[in-house]
Amino acid sequence: MHSGGGKFVYIILIILFLIDLYAFRGLRHFLSPLPISVRTIVSVVYWLVPLFILIMTIIIGQNIGVLVSGKMYYRVFYTFMGVLVLFYVPKIIFSAFELGNDLVNLVIFTIRKLHLGGDILRFQSIRYVGAFLAILLFVFTFYGIIHGRYHYKVNRMVLNYRNLPENFDGFKIVHISDWHIGSYYNKPEKIMGAVGRINALNPDLILFTGDLVNNVATEVEEFLPALKQLHAKYGVYSVLGNHDYGEYVNWPSEEEKESNIKKLIDLQASAGFRLLLNESEEIEIDGQKISIIGVENWGLPPFPQYGNLSKALGDNVGNNFQVLMSHDPSHWDAEVKGKTNIGLTLSGHTHGMQFGFILRNLKWSPVKLKYPRWAGLYSNDSQKLYVNVGIGYIGFPGRVGIRPEIAVLELKRQL
């Protein structure tokens, strides 16, 4: 562990320990009516969690170079992150309400001391609200880890365009993104389940908008038989996302990093994906055409900008109706909206932070603080952007309120 990174980790551990102390102080209020044997058991279990976090932090820190690109890394890291989020997010919420409860009681104490009020009782209501919300969040998070990350949601949408060729009226695109397939090691049946759901939709075209892997190309190998079964009438097209370049691995040499990218390109070809690297292709139905454009990753810092939209458009697009695949939705605002004739842009990247909610007319996730366009459909005159919240997961091994998405986009000719 590097010294700068190590200091940061120690600071985080200290903060977590302080949260543990403060939350435990509030927990004792609820334990006080129980028998001492029950209080002891609950207390021991409570403090086993921070002990687990400390031990896992040491293990990961000392073995990060060995673990970072292997199956063991994902088992260890995802176990660590699952426990961390499952227990500490509710603790933070509970602690915040506990603090509010203490502040109110401080005001009451001050009033008593200054003889400004009568016999005022201690205030406890905020503490109970905090406990209820913490328990609720714990339950939702537990569900998100056990089931939510595999609970695929098919979102259907009809997109109307005046310039859509007549022969493409009703053309069905299945849009998927951010598979992060290394997260599914030893779970090929989960990938096969998603493939079955996608194929059952009978798509005309499957478009995948990047982040097939977490870190390295070899993650794909275990799942190649399942990916080969993806089928669409006019093919499966893909682009690269920020994770696909191996940027988050400390490669021994630039040559090995380049070799990894080439291997990923070859594996995508073996899976039957037509990977578009700043280029375009035409889909033709009875003499009428649309253009599928694919750019490499283009993101706002610190994410890489390998995308070259001008090169991708080339001389082949002409006046065709255009569909752009660009991993990061920031690209739409920066180079597409109001600056091109691209009718539909498909992106992913945000994951909806794997935490939030999407209702019919209401959606929220903390990720909106960085990405104003983070989920669903956005429009600017005749141009549209669809942001898929991803079919996979990374970092936190779950999805809370943001289900893995398979988007079905039906193109309709508007008269």
The per-residue pLDDT for range 81-117, each reduced to its tens digit, is 999 999 999 999 999 999 988 888 888 778 777 766 5
- The whole domain housing 251 covers 153-413
Residue 44 CA to residue 76 CA, distance in Å, equals: 23
Question: pLDDT-derived band of residue 319, with 50, 70 and 90 as boundaries?
Answer: confident
- Is 340 in the same domain as 315? yes
- Is 164 in the same domain as 310? yes
Mean pLDDT, the chain, integer: 92
Residue 265, burial from CB neighbour count under 10 angstroms (0-12, 13-18, 19+): middle
- Is 220 in the same domain as 350? yes
- Is 163 in the same domain as 309? yes
Question: pLDDT-derived band of residue 204, with 50, 70 and 90 as boundaries?
Answer: very high
Beta bridge partners of 206: 174, 236
- End-of-domain residue from the set 127, 146, 165: 146
User: Which pLDDT value is given to residue 1?
Assistant: 47
Closest CA relative to residue 223, chosen from 170, 276, 186? 186
- Is 389 in the same domain as 304? yes
- Scanning the structure block, which residue is given the tokens 């603080």? 369
Residue 249 CA to residue 234 CA, distance in Å, equals: 35
- Is 196 in the same domain as 71? no
Helices assigned H by DSSP within 114-219: 125-146, 188-199
Q: What is the mean pLDDT of residues 54-61?
A: 84
> How many residues are present in the chain?
415
Positive or negative torsion for Cα 152, 232, 184, 300: negative
- Is 16 in the same domain as 142? yes
Q: How many CA atoms lie within 13 A of 147 on its CB side?
A: 5
25-51 per-position pLDDT tens digit: 999 989 999 999 999 999 999 999 999
Domain count, the chain: 2
Q: What is the mean pLDDT of residues 48-61?
A: 89
- Is 182 in the same domain as 137? no
- Is 167 in the same domain as 135? no
350-369 per-position pLDDT tens digit: 999 999 999 888 999 999 99
- Is 371 in the same domain as 291? yes
Share of the chain above pLDDT 90, in %: 78
Question: pLDDT-derived band of residue 265, with 50, 70 and 90 as boundaries?
Answer: very high
- End-of-domain residue from the set 97, 125, 146: 146
User: Which pLDDT value is given to residue 122?
Assistant: 59
Q: What is the mean pLDDT of residues 45-64?
A: 86
- Is 224 in the same domain as 86? no
- End-of-domain residue from the set 146, 170, 187: 146
- Is 98 in the same domain as 215? no
pTM over 0.85: yes
DSSP letter for each residue of 249-282: S--S-HHHHHHHHHHHHHHHHHHTEEE-SSEEEE
User: Which pLDDT value is given to residue 109?
Assistant: 78
216-251 per-position pLDDT tens digit: 999 999 999 999 999 999 999 999 999 999 998 889
Q: What is the mean pLDDT of residues 267-273?
A: 98
